[in-house]
Structure 1
């Protein structure tokens, strides 16, 4: 009889233990959101950055702690929802990234920076990031890059007019400037200037006139200066040569005489070489791809069922 009572008691304790464990697991690992076929649990949110959570519990109390926790959970939840939407939407486009690829990418990063996993974790912690977050970042970066190259960029058409407009609006950032092929002649007096100008009008060769009359050190070469960007010239010189495609500019009078410039050649800043043009096209594609990706993600969030279960 006593044995039977002991057995019943043991069964009751076991049942209570199982029930308590089940309830506890449900509380600890409650579902915060469902994104398509992915479930985001409290455990996943907390393991995203456990040190940040630990700091909140150690440093804050009362309402301030509640506020900090709410901010953490909402931020982590938004991050994971975005990531799962990108992952599932990319898969529908045939774009995937395996765990092996992510591990390989991290190994490459550690090898290039000569660090082990422990050191990498320390470096990430210094920027308030965990290895788990870093893995997600790498995964999303790879997915984005593959989506850009295989899905978005092939749909982007860049015309010559588009390139010209881009150059016009970004010439400073591109460090583009009109180019002038210049010669120079310097003379000391009004009389010398008058004689030199008469000679030029007669023979039509600035080179020959400069060789004959110029006091510059490069007079033997006909005063040749070569190709110079307009932006690198003094304002005084820019003023007299701007707009001249070929021909002589108005003499500039200085303390020691006159300087006379001759424009032998001109290149518009819009006349770019193939290498620079390719870089511009790539930059334009990247800019448009970012906008396309942003709109794509908005649409995918509408297509993929997102259900938020809790919001602390």
Structure 2
């Protein structure tokens, strides 16, 4: 069997080489049939080349060829299945959404979009290919939100219970950098199969504790979605981890390899790579009020601005802002309270409104400001710095419980999606 594997992988290795030699031509065969779609040798080879390049850049030892190709092929299969499901569900990404995401990625890297595009090209990557990969990622994220996120709810009682019983305030300030290996166990597996997988997990733990490289081991044996990233889960608080990991991680020291942790999906092996961090909860709140004029078939943008400028003039002449808000504002709820929105925290209001508000001095009235709701004049009545710890913690816990639930559901959903799909792997070496 080893000889057949070597021969089959050698064929794909030649294909990878052909990406460096454009003049070489080869017959692009089918590696796998995935429902009503296919994966070509060239797709697999290109993906393997990309993964191999990243591993090399991170100084991670390459796993045996047949393991690398199998891991990459499984990732391509899962990607195809999700793309097919997204198409059936009508999930689409507009050009505006894609451009906004690309600009966001550029900002995260400290560049504008033009500089980021140039940087991508200078690294030998096709910007169009990178952009397409981002589009696919957005589609898959939207699909997962549609299939999983919409079903996941977090109640106030869950938040209360979580904060009271699971993680202390001090614990929530700490962030952990974890490595993760999953030895999967199929649903409905026999006792013999379960024992075999658990024995494999114990063997992996033993090798790791004896000095085996964790990243290399994850790439070679892990069935987790982060296998090709060396099993790294990144920086997370305890509340961002799956529930069954929490008690284990709290007892670990840097560099520790935990005993295997059993779950319905398989056996998990954890390494604590690092830990750090203290979170600040101080925020600046703004007390603000406004008057809104909405545009419609009778009132255009120019008319709305003129009305607001006239109102501003009356306020400057001594008329009461609150009385004018009650008489003129189209934001009917706050208008009854003199246009007041109360004390607001950063991020609560739409960006154009918040930007204008942040630039005002106390009691100053803005020029007319346009948002998607219409035209506003804004007055800041006060600012204060507040320890928003309790509310921030509740918001954080809500988000983290939701993320945890989504992560746990996603693992099961992907496994079910794969198990129920028609997949025919044509490359013999990867089908054994």
Category of TM-score, reference length = shorter chain = 0.3 to 0.5
Q: What TM-score, normalized to structure 2?
A: 0.35
Where relative contact order (Cα < 8 A, 6+ residues apart) is larger, the structure is 1
Q: Select the structure of larger CA radius of gyration.
A: 1
The structure where helix makes up a greater share of residues is 1
